[in-house]
């Protein structure tokens, strides 16, 4: 008697690396694509949404997955690198099924979906969602008690096909907890506006601020507009002042004044000061929160400030030595000390004796080309901005310079693969397409470059890859083990 195929809970697949048969990494799993079916039949798993190193998201059919084991997905090695676009009949498992409020058929009780398991059907290459891990009651970060959890068959719950308003995001966020802000921003960008707003509402202020800084302007404005004004002000306070100023500059004047009035006076003053400068000048690019020390501070104190985990690497690269006051705009700017110099000198050394005062600082009105030239000439990752009176106003970091030199839509643009790799991927895909078309009739290609197999009596709209008939799996092809939620 053949052993039952092991179940894999999808939370274990978030961010998992995808490899070709040679062991070369192709990308990472960012979501799964399923198709709901009529009645209580289990949804069919159509494939994975894989993010390539170029940040492009492609569709990988489940028929090209030869194994899921030990935190990795193994494929047949043939990829179609056309961009993934979701069809109306498809559901994203992470983006749309997790955190849904559904109903237990037997008792009529409301439960929240925390996870779902997938498994491969015996003697077939098809996969389906088999079981659902749920918690009784509504989910939420502010609930004092958590309801009972259980794992039930898909047929034991109903409500997945209904449009839900106010869907939670707790399980989705737990799935992507380890993502860097830029990667989580990319996840949010690819969600529907409804789901994007729900996820943003579930993030804490600091995390949402970090993510907003990495999103395109349109997404920033959309998300900020969906927050209550008090929370929007809190999030703006948590953002770097220069990023907050850039975002507010895109809003109507009346909205800007209302939000600034809700912010703490000190935070609002920094943002107002930055908004007074033209966007593409050193004053408009700088942050008002560099590391400022008095000349009588020691190297030990300076290194303690540099170790602050909330500082970006660029801001932590050097400290700025100034006369009181210590907050920008400071007293007279004396010079900067790079952290490498701090590492070379004894902890008791005064930073005032280490300053580099030979380097001319930037002026707040210096245009972007001048700022970029300064960074390129002196190999800097951060530079001081000083006014005519000699006060330090802030510091420009290299990431902000790049942000303004790249095209406006660069966050939505994919990184470029090495040409040879890119051509190789296309050649494999086209060769497979051509050979497959030559041997089959009645098949047409959709907008993704995937092919539609004509529907059978039980199939709604099955997406299959051009090499489906050529996939070979040995009987020992490994699959992932039992999910964390048990049987």
**The dihedral sign for the CA sequence 432, 434, 438, 443:** positive
At 141-154, the pLDDT tens digits run 444 456 889 999 99
User: In the predicted model, what is the mean pLDDT of residues 5-21?
Assistant: 89
How would residue 352 be classed by pLDDT, with cut points 50, 70 and 90?
very high
Q: What tokens does 10 get?
A: 């999808």
Instruction: Specify whether the CB–CB gap between 185 and 215 falls below 8 A.
Output: yes
Which range is least confidently modeled, 46-55, 65-74, 411-420?
411-420
C-alpha to C-alpha distance for 357 and 364, rounded to whole angstroms: 18
User: In the predicted model, what is the mean pLDDT of residues 45-50?
Assistant: 93
Q: Which residues have C-beta within 8 Å of that of residue 391, sequence separation ≥ 6? A: 322, 328, 329, 330, 331, 332, 333
User: In the predicted model, what is the mean pLDDT of residues 291-301?
Assistant: 96
Query: What is the per-residue burial (b if ≥16 Cβ within 10 Å, else e) of 177-187?
Result: eebebebbbbb
Q: What is the pLDDT of residue 446?
A: 40
Q: What is the pLDDT of residue 165?
A: 61
At 440-480, the pLDDT tens digits run 333 333 434 444 333 333 443 334 344 443 333 333 333 33
C-alpha to C-alpha distance for 382 and 290, rounded to whole angstroms: 9
Which range is least confidently modeled, 5-9, 96-100, 366-370?
5-9
User: In the predicted model, what is the mean pLDDT of residues 204-228?
Assistant: 92
**What rounded mean pLDDT belongs to the chain?**
81
| 101 to 42, 109, 159, 166, 372: CA distances (angstroms) | 18, 10, 8, 10, 51
Q: What is the pLDDT of residue 464?
A: 39
Query: How many helices (H) does the chain have, and how many strands (E)?
Result: 15, 21
Q: What is the pLDDT of residue 4?
A: 60
For the chain, give the percent of residues with pLDDT over 70.
Answer: 78
More confident residue, 58 or 69: 58
Please determine, for residue 113, whether its predicted confidence score (pLDDT) is greater than 70.
Answer: yes
Please determine, for residue 116, whether its predicted confidence score (pLDDT) is greater than 80.
Answer: yes
Q: What is the pLDDT of residue 160?
A: 84
User: In the predicted model, what is the mean pLDDT of residues 391-410?
Assistant: 88
Instruction: Specify whether the CB–CB gap between 393 and 284 falls below 8 A.
Output: no
Query: What is the per-residue burial (b if ≥16 Cβ within 10 Å, else e) of 110-145?
Result: ebbbbbbbbbbeeeebebbbbbbbbbbbebeeeeee
Q: What is the pLDDT of residue 192?
A: 84
> If you average pLDDT over each of 168-177, 318-327, 397-406, 438-447, which comes out highest?
318-327
User: In the predicted model, what is the mean pLDDT of residues 304-332?
Assistant: 93
- The reported pTM is 0.60
Q: What is the pLDDT of residue 468?
A: 40
Please choose, from the candidates 96, 100, 80, the residue with its C-alpha nearest in 3D space to the C-alpha of residue 88: 96
Q: What is the pLDDT of residue 140?
A: 54
Q: Which residues have C-beta within 8 Å of that of residue 138, sequence separation ≥ 6? A: 101, 110, 112, 168
Q: Is 384 helix (H, G, I), strand (E, B) or coil?
A: strand
Please determine, for residue 51, whether its predicted confidence score (pLDDT) is greater than 50.
Answer: yes
Please determine, for residue 292, whether its predicted confidence score (pLDDT) is greater than 80.
Answer: yes
C-alpha to C-alpha distance for 322 and 317, rounded to whole angstroms: 17
Which range is least confidently modeled, 122-136, 172-186, 263-277, 363-377?
172-186
How would residue 90 be classed by pLDDT, with cut points 50, 70 and 90?
confident
Q: In the sheet where 318-322 sits, what is the strand order?
A: 292-293, 318-322, 333-338
Q: What tokens does 313 get?
A: 């690497």
Q: What is the pLDDT of residue 146?
A: 67
Q: What tokens does 483 get?
A: 């999910």
Please determine, for residue 353, whether its predicted confidence score (pLDDT) is greater than 50.
Answer: yes
**CA angle, 112 as apex, 35 and 15 as ends, to 5°?**
60
């Amino acid at each position: 008697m053949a052993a039952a195929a092991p179940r894999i809970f999808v939370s274990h697949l978030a961010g998992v690396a995808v490899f070709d048969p040679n062991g070369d990494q192709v990308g990472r799993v960012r979501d799964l694509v399923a198709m709901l079916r009529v009645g209580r039949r289990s949804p069919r798993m159509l494939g994975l949404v894989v993010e390539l190193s170029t940040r492009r998201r492609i569709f990988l059919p489940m028929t090209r997955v030869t194994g899921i084991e030990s935190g990795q997905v193994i494929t047949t090695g043939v990829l179609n690198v056309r961009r993934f676009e979701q069809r109306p009949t498809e559901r994203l498992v992470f983006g749309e099924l997790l955190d849904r409020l559904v109903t237990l058929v037997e008792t009529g009780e409301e439960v929240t979906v925390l996870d779902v398991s997938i498994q491969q059907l015996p003697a077939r290459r098809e996969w389906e969602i088999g079981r659902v891990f749920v918690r009784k009651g509504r989910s939420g970060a502010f609930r004092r008690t958590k309801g009972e959890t259980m794992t039930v068959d898909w047929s034991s719950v109903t409500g997945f096909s209904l449009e839900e308003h106010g869907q939670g995001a707790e399980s989705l966020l737990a799935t992507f907890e380890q993502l860097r802000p830029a990667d989580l921003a990319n996840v949010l960008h690819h969600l529907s506006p409804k789901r994007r707003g729900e996820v943003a509402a579930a993030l804490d202020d600091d995390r949402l601020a970090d993510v907003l800084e990495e999103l395109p302007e349109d997404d920033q404005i959309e998300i900020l507009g969906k927050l209550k004004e008090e929370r929007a002000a809190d999030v703006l306070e948590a953002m770097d002042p220069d990023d907050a100023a850039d975002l507010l500059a895109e809003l109507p004047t009346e909205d800007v004044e209302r939000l600034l009035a809700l912010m703490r006076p000190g935070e609002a003053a920094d943002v107002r000061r930055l908004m007074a400068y033209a966007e593409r000048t050193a004053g408009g690019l700088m942050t008002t929160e560099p590391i400022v020390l008095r000349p009588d501070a020691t190297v030990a104190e300076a290194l303690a400030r540099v170790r602050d985990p909330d500082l970006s690497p660029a801001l932590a690269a050097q400290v700025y030595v100034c006369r009181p006051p210590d907050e920008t705009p400071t007293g007279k700017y004396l010079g900067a000390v790079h952290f490498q110099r701090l590492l070379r000198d004894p902890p008791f050394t005064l930073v005032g004796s280490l300053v580099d005062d030979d380097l001319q600082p930037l002026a707040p009105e210096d245009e972007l080309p001048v700022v970029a030239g300064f960074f390129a000439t002196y190999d800097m990752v951060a530079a001081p901005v000083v006014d005519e009176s000699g006060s330090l106003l802030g510091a420009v970091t290299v990431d902000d310079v790049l942000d303004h030199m790249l095209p406006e839509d660069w966050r939505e643009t994919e990184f470029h693969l090495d040409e040879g790799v890119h051509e190789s991927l296309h050649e494999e895909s086209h060769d497979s397409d051509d050979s497959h078309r030559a041997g089959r009739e009645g098949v047409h290609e959709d907008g993704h470059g995937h092919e539609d197999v004509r529907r059978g009596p039980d199939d709604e709209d099955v997406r299959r890859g051009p090499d489906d008939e050529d996939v070979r799996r040995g009987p020992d092809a490994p699959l992932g083990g039992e999910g964390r939620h048990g049987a």
